Amino acid sequence: MKSSFKKSIAAGVLLSVGFISNGNAAECIAPANPGGGWDFTCRTIGKIMHDIGAVDKPIQVTNMAGGGGGLAYGHVVTERSEDADLIVAASSATATRLAQNAYAGMTADQVRFVGAIGADPGVIVVGKDSEFQDLGQLLNAIKDDPSSVTFAGGSAVGGFDHLKPLMLLQRVGFDDITKVKYIGVDGGADAITQTVGGFTQAMTGDMSEIVGFLKSGDVRALAVLTEERVPGFDDIPTAKEQGFDVVAVNWRGLYIPKGVSDDTFNMWAERLQKVADSAEWKEAMVANGLAPFTKVGGDFQGYIDQVVGEVRQLSKDIGVIQ
């Protein structure tokens, strides 16, 4: 009788303890609930690091959702600033929010960005029966009558998915940005569902979110927001070649605490580079619609600073921040 209860308690405690502290194995914090991009970054990179022998013990993943990543950021800055066994998943969303001052005043230089090893190209997508055949038609239709098109995207208003069409519209000289209709739904697949259902006219998101729907023919991609066409998706034109110079990719990478030694920084950079070079990662990239985008080590921090500056300016232009 009692034993069964004890057993269940023991199992619970075991599970929880196993979850919280696992000896001295390294930890990867995914600053969101399981299932999203950051979670994918932690789990995939962590798994590959262990599989290829870059680390001895499996990297354990902790999900610390809150404040769009701000909670984990604050946790690392204030409580774990010298933890050498800690990596945190980051992406363009991290940089966007830092730029928009959405992490309660914390700045990009309070952690060390190790690198990015893959990027999810931004895309603009319409349903298969849509009247819009290319990006120009869509943008001009909005210019003529902003209320005729609603975008659906997986991020909240002001988020990265919202910024993509706004950047494109800036290029055609449409400045009345607040007139652009955008709804933020729960993830890219949901945004596609709304677009295929005809409730919204276009979807703004990442390549990985649309792969299955492209194959099934439910949607057409009007443009991909990269410098060059993405391998494997060669029939999708870039926005650039259609005359709209916008590049927006959602990179997947890591940051570590500020207070660690340069040796630790280099160690993680090296490990990350090993993952980037591995066949496993290449396979995972293809399966998840990621394009090659490797910036590891010292120069990545510079890239982050540049991106933060750009997004801050853009956010001011479109009125997301003061």
Partner 1 sequence: MEILNNLALGFSIALSPYTLMLAVVGCFIGTIIGALPGLGPSNGVAILIPITFTLGLDATSALVLMTSVYYGAMYGGRISSILLNIPGDEPALMTTLDGYPMAKQGKAGNALVLSGVASFVGAFLATIGLLLLAPILARVAYLFGPAEYFALYLLAFCTLGGMASNNQAKAAIASCIGLGIAMIGLDNNSGLPRFTFGNLHLMDGIDFLVAIVGLFAIAEVFFFIEGHGKSSSIGVKLDKVTVPWREIYITRWTMLRASAVGFVAGILPGAGASLGSFLAYMSEKSIAGKDGGFGTGVPKGVAAPEAGNNAAAGGALVPMLTLGVPGSGTTAVLLALLMTLNITPGPTLFTDRPEVVWGLIASLLIANVVLLLMNVPMVKVFVRILQVPAWVLLPGVTMVSFVGIYSLSGSYFDLLLMVAFGVLGYVLRKLDVPTVPVILGILLGRHMEDALRRAMVIADGDLMYLFSSSISIGLWIAAVAGFVAPTFLRGVLTKPQRVTD
Pick 32 or 269: Cβ nearer partner 1: 32
Pick 29 or 307: Cβ nearer partner 1: 29
Instruction: Tell me which residues in 71-130 interact with partner 1 (CB under 8 A).
Output: 71, 74-75, 103-104
Q: Give the residue among 305, 286, 282, 296 at the shortest CA–CA distance from 253.
A: 296
Smallest distance from the beta carbon of 223 to partner 1, in angstroms?
21
On the CB side of 197, how many CA atoms lie within 13 Å of its CA? 10
Name which position in 2, 23, 56, 173 contacts partner 1 (CB under 8 A): 2
User: For residue 10, which amino acid is it?
Assistant: A
CA distance 45 to 232: 22
Name which position in 49, 54, 63, 76 contacts partner 1 (CB under 8 A): 63
User: For residue 226, which amino acid is it?
Assistant: T
Pick 215 or 263: Cβ nearer partner 1: 215
Q: Give the residue among 105, 114, 27, 26 at the shortest CA–CA distance from 63.
A: 27
Name which position in 92, 94, 110, 194 contacts partner 1 (CB under 8 A): 194
Pick 52 or 183: Cβ nearer partner 1: 183
**Span near partner 1 by CB under 8 A; candidates 68-76, 165-173, 221-229, 231-239:** 68-76
Q: Residues in the chain, how many?
A: 322
Give φ, ψ of 152 to 5 degrees: -115, 140
Distances (CA, A) of 91 to 18, 150, 258, 310: 28, 26, 18, 15
Question: In terms of C-beta density within 10 A (0-12 exposed, 13-18 middle, 19 or more buried), how is residue 10 classed?
Answer: exposed
Pick 14 or 306: Cβ nearer partner 1: 14
Give me the numbers of helices (H) and strands (E) for the chain, helices first please: 11, 10
Site of tokens 């013990």 = 57
Name which position in 121, 122, 159, 257 contacts partner 1 (CB under 8 A): 159
Instruction: Tell me which residues in 162-181 interact with partner 1 (CB under 8 A).
Output: 162, 181
Name which position in 54, 68, 251, 307 contacts partner 1 (CB under 8 A): 68
Smallest distance from the beta carbon of 262 to partner 1, in angstroms?
28
Alpha helices in 80-204 (DSSP H): 92-99, 135-144, 160-171, 188-196
Name which position in 91, 92, 110, 200 contacts partner 1 (CB under 8 A): 200
Pick 177 or 211: Cβ nearer partner 1: 211
**Span near partner 1 by CB under 8 A; candidates 111-119, 183-191, 236-244, 300-308:** 183-191
| Residue 131 near partner 1 by CB under 8 A | no
Instruction: Evaluate whether 263 touches 86 at the Cβ level (below 8 Å).
Output: no
Instruction: Evaluate whether 109 touches 309 at the Cβ level (below 8 Å).
Output: no
Instruction: Tell me which residues in 249-308 interact with partner 1 (CB under 8 A).
Output: 283-284, 287-289
Pull the structure tokens for residue 81.
């600033």
Name which position in 109, 143, 156, 243 contacts partner 1 (CB under 8 A): 156
Smallest distance from the beta carbon of 170 to partner 1, in angstroms?
18
Pick 23 or 173: Cβ nearer partner 1: 23
The distance from CA 310 to its chain's CA centroid, rounded to whole angstroms, is 17
Pick 87 or 269: Cβ nearer partner 1: 87
Smallest distance from the beta carbon of 286 to partner 1, in angstroms?
9
